[in-house]
Amino acid sequence: MNNAQPIDKNGNPILTTDWACSVDKVVTFVSTTNGNGDFNGTGNPETLFNVTGTVLIRILAKCTTGLTSSSGTLEVGTALSTAGLIAQTTASAIDTNEIWHDATPDSSVEATTVLAQKIVSQDVIQTVATADISAGVIRYTAIWYPLSADAEVTAA
């Protein structure tokens, strides 16, 4: 992006920071060796979104299949702030059709204001902690707005 006015991928000017650009990533948890649900595996933490430059970002996490874990926890952030975008929560508390945005996921309907808007200049990661997450699916949506001329967010 080399314009004074940010543009979307279709070349249209972005006039507001709200809901500007978005990209999705679906994560299916498996606790096999080095799977993304393997607490001690090489796939943890998992990069969800590659961030270039500096962006304003919101992360929407919708559970499409409830998570299964004995005592595992999950959080979303960056390498310097692993729970900086979505607070750590017990994985088994994230149920089918719930929107996960904080430590207590509890609803399939949320106000848009619950999605914290943060300035980010590192890749977005999810971290499995405490124990494995053996099953479940979350669809992550990164909603972002460019702050630097080279800003870009892509699914990892």
pLDDT recorded at residue 106: 84
Q: Is residue 8 part of a domain?
A: no
The pTM assigned to this predicted structure is 0.88
- Contact in structure between 71 and 85 (CB atoms under 8 Å): no
Phi, psi torsion values for 51, nearest 5 degrees: -115, 125
Q: Is residue 2 part of a domain?
A: no
Q: Is residue 56 part of a domain?
A: yes
Average pLDDT for the chain: 90
Range of the domain at 96: 21-155
Q: Is residue 80 part of a domain?
A: yes
Question: Percent of the chain scored above 70 by pLDDT?
Answer: 91
Question: Percent of the chain scored above 90 by pLDDT?
Answer: 74
Work out how many domains the chain is built from and give that number.
1
The answer on pLDDT for 4 being more than 60 is no
Amino acid at 68: T
Q: Is residue 55 part of a domain?
A: yes
Q: Is residue 11 part of a domain?
A: no
pLDDT tens digits, one per residue of 113-150: 788 899 999 999 999 999 999 999 999 999 999 999 89
C-beta pairs of 28-34 under 8 Å, 24+ apart in sequence: 28/65, 28/136, 28/137, 29/67, 29/68, 29/133, 29/134, 29/135, 29/136, 29/137, 29/138, 30/134, 30/135, 31/132, 31/133, 31/134, 31/135
Q: Is residue 49 part of a domain?
A: yes
End-to-end CA distance of the chain: 20
Q: Is residue 110 part of a domain?
A: yes
